[in-house]
Amino acid sequence: MKANRMFLVIFCLITLTGYSQKKINNYKYVVVPNRFDFLKQDDQYQTSSLTKFLFKKYGFKVYLDNETLPDDLSRNRCLGLTGVVKDASSLFTTKTFVELRDCNNNVVFTSEEGKSKLKDYKKAYHESIRNAFNSVKNLRYKYVSSGDEEVVETKQLSAPSQVISTNVKTSSNEKVINGNLELLYAQPVTNGFQLIDNKPERVFIALKSELRDVFILKNKNGIIYKVGSSWKAEYFEGEKKITKLYNVKF
C-alpha cells in the first residue's frame, strides 16, 4: 500500500510539473518590476537587475517594467508574465522565492525557497535569489507560440489607424463618442482607482498590479493598461473578449 501511495504521489508531481511547464512555455515574455514590494528603492541591492539576468540566462525574453517593451507585448500584455521576487525571511535567514503571474495576476508558477545566512543584505539577497532560480532552471523553458501574438499583429496590420484616426471605421468593441475616445475620470480608492464616466457612473474599479501603468479590473476577467496617451481595457464577458480604448484623466 505504501509503495502504491508513493507511486501515486510521484506520478501527480510529474504530471503537475509537466502541465506547469507547458503553460509557461506558451508565454513569450517576462516583465520584472523595477522595485519589489519588500524593498524601499528601485532596484535596491540590484535585486531587479539580478532577476532579469537570471530569467534571461534560463531562456526567457525579459524586460524591466521601466524599459521600452516590444510592440506586440505593449498591445497585448497577456503575452507576458510578471516575474516577481517575494521575501519570506526569518530572523537569521534570508529567504526568497520567485513567482510568475499572468496578466490577470494569477500565480502560474512558484519556485522553491532560496536561502542564505550571509549577513550582508546585498550578498544574502543575491545568494537566496540565485538558489530560488534553480526551480526556474528546472522548468527548461522554451517558448511555444499559442497563436495569440499572430492574431494581435494581424488585427493591427488590417486596421493600423483605428487608434490614431477618428475618420476611419473602428472595431465594434471600441466605444467612441463624437469621434473621440470615451473620457473616464480616475478617483482614488483602496489599492487603485474607480473610473467614472460623464453621467456620472462607475465603469471600472482598477486595482494596482506589479507593473507600471497596468491595472487589474475588479470583478472582470481582464486588465486596463496604457497605450501611448490612451488606455486599453481588455476583459471577457463570458467567452467573448471585449477590447475598448479610453481617455483617462487622473
Higher pLDDT, 228 or 1: 228
Average pLDDT over residues 48-66: 96
**What is the distance between the alpha carbons of residues 241 and 235, in angstroms, rounded to a whole number?**
6
What is the 8-class DSSP label of residue 70?
P
The residue type at 165: S
pLDDT(161) > 60 = no
Predicted pLDDT at 60: 97
Average pLDDT over residues 224-243: 89
Cα–chain center distance at 241: 18
pLDDT(40) > 60 = yes
**What is the distance between the alpha carbons of residues 171 and 27, in angstroms, rounded to a whole number?**
26
Q: Which helix (H) or strand (E) holds 108?
A: strand 107-110
Averaged pLDDT score across all residues of the chain: 81
Q: Parallel, antiparallel, or unpaired for β 94-101 and 61-64? A: unpaired
What share of the chain in percent tops pLDDT 70? Answer: 78
The residue type at 129: I
Predicted pLDDT at 212: 86
Predicted pLDDT at 12: 40
Alpha-carbon torsion (85, 65, 79, 204), positive or negative: positive
What share of the chain in percent tops pLDDT 90? Answer: 56
**What is the distance between the alpha carbons of residues 195 and 152, in angstroms, rounded to a whole number?**
26
Predicted pLDDT at 147: 57
With contact defined as beta carbons under 8 Å apart, do 96 and 205 qualify? Answer: no
Q: Which of 59-63, 138-142, 185-189 has the lowest mean pLDDT?
A: 185-189
pLDDT(114) > 50 = yes
Predicted pLDDT at 162: 34
pLDDT(69) > 80 = yes
Predicted pLDDT at 146: 65
Which of the four pLDDT bands, split at 50, 70 and 90, describes residue 38? very high
Higher pLDDT, 158 or 183: 183
**What is the distance between the alpha carbons of residues 199 and 115, in angstroms, rounded to a whole number?**
54
Q: Which of 31-45, 108-122, 174-188 has the lowest mean pLDDT?
A: 174-188
**What is the distance between the alpha carbons of residues 67 and 48, in angstroms, rounded to a whole number?**
12
Q: Parallel, antiparallel, or unpaired for β 192-196 and 180-189? A: antiparallel
Cα 110–Cα 74–Cα 162 angle in degrees, nearest 5 = 145
Give the Å distances, CA to CA, from 66 to 3, 27, 42, 78.
52, 20, 10, 18
